[in-house]
């Protein structure tokens, strides 16, 4: 089974690329979705989050807005939150990979925003980075509800620069030239992997 790591900075079109892999009948593990499941009522992450950030959870789950206020601009608080969430996400990812091996999947995709930053790239056979020009990225991100230029800048500061991600990638998937171009790049990548295997 070939594990493809899929990553890219905020607003680069990673979710769109992940959907394109699914169209190719390749299973995708979505790390962001795993984090959201960990924020639901009754999840293993809620009690430790509440201990660290009192008042950010309730019987219905995590209050993302309150937690966001608690960690925004506070690197120490963000790292403490990541220390709770990252091991739980990695455990969920490991269980998912075991299931895919049992299903004899040829390829799988790990959709992980912080693939390089967390060292998760080491578990991948190849890494694909989605990339778009900065003006396209900025326009996409600033269209999001509640996003501001300051928040965008703070998020970028926490992520490896796009140029470095692209330099470390096995494949760079362009996402600023239209969906057909991105889809063609993904198809070409799979053909190359098929030929190499």
| Two tokens, residue 157 | 């500061």
* Gyration radius from the chain CA atoms: 17
pLDDT the model gives residue 135: 93
CA dihedral 187→4→88→31, nearest 10 degrees, is -20
- Structural tokens at position 56: 């950010």
Quote the pTM value: 0.87
Residue 92: predicted pLDDT: 92
Rounded CA separation 93/123 (Å) = 11
**For residues 156-184, b (16+ Cβ closer than 10 Å) or e, as one string?**
beebbebeebeeebbbbbbbbeeeeebbe
**Nearest CA-CA partner of 17 in 197, 194, 190:** 190
CA distance 197 to 186: 17
Mean of the pLDDT values across residues 5-15? 94
Note whether 19 and 183 are within 8 A (CB).
no
Predicted confidence band of residue 126 (pLDDT cuts 50, 70, 90)? very high
Q: What is the mean pLDDT of residues 143-152?
A: 89
Q: Where in 11-54 does DSSP place strands (E)?
A: 27-30
CB-CB neighbours of 35 under 10 Å: 17
**What is the domain partition of the chain in residue ranges?**
1-26+110-197, 39-104
**Cβ atoms of 128 and 171 closer than 8 Å:** yes
What is the C-alpha to C-alpha distance for residues 62 and 25, in angstroms, rounded to an integer?
A: 33
**Of 42-56, 93-107, 144-158, where does the model show the most confidence?**
93-107
CATH of domain 1-26+110-197: 3.40.50.300
pLDDT value, residue 175: 94
pLDDT computed for residue 60 by the predictor: 82
User: How large is the average pLDDT for residues 100-114?
Assistant: 95
Pairing mode of beta strands 57-58, 61-62 = antiparallel
**Residue range 155-163: mean pLDDT, rounded:** 88
Classify each residue of 75-99 as buried b or exposed e, where b means 16 or more C-beta atoms within 10 Å of its C-beta. Answer: eeeeebbeebbbebbbebbeebbee
Mean pLDDT of the chain: 91
């Amino acid at each position: 089974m070939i594990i493809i790591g899929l990553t890219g900075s905020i607003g680069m079109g990673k979710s769109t690329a992940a959907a394109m892999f699914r169209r190719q009948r390749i299973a995708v593990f979505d790390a962001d979705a795993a984090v959201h499941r960990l924020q639901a009522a009754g999840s293993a992450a809620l009690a430790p989050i509440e201990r660290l950030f009192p008042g950010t959870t309730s019987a219905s789950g995590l209050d993302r807005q309150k937690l966001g206020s608690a960690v925004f601009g506070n690197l120490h608080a963000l790292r403490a939150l990541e220390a709770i969430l990252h091991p739980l996400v990695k455990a969920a990812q490991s269980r998912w990979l075991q299931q895919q091996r049992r299903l004899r999947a040829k390829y799988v995709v790990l959709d992980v925003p912080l693939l390089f930053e967390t060292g998760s790239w080491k578990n991948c056979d190849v890494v694909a980075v989605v990339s778009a020009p900065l003006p396209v990225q900025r326009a996409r991100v600033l269209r999001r509800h509640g996003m501001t230029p300051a928040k965008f800048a703070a998020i970028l500061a926490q992520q490896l620069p796009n140029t470095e991600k692209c330099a470390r990638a096995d494949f760079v998937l362009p996402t600023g030239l239209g969906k057909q171009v991105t889809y063609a790049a993904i198809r070409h990548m799979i053909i190359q992997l098929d030929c190499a295997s």
